[in-house]
Amino acid sequence: MKFFSIPVQYEGDAEAELNAFLKTVRLIAIQRELVCQENRFYWAIAVEYAEGGGKAPSKSDAVRKKIDYKEVLSPENFAIFVKLRDWRKETAAREAVQLYNVFMNEQLAAMVEKRIASKKALMEIEGVGDARVEKYGDAVLAILKEEFAKLKEENETGKEPLSADPDA
- Can you give the pLDDT at residue 10? 66
Q: Mind listing the pLDDT tens digit for each residue in 131-148? A: 999 999 999 999 999 999
Give CA–CA dist 41/84, Å, rounded.
47
For the full predicted model, state whether its pTM sits above 0.75. no
- Can you give the pLDDT at residue 88? 95
Q: What percent of the chain has pLDDT over 90?
A: 43
End-to-end Cα distance, the chain: 56
Cβ atoms of residues 81 and 73 within 8 Å? yes
Average pLDDT over residues 7-21: 77
CATH of domain 64-156: 1.10.150.80
The residues of the chain that CATH labels 1.10.150.80 are 64-156
Residues 6+ apart with CB under 8 A from 134: none
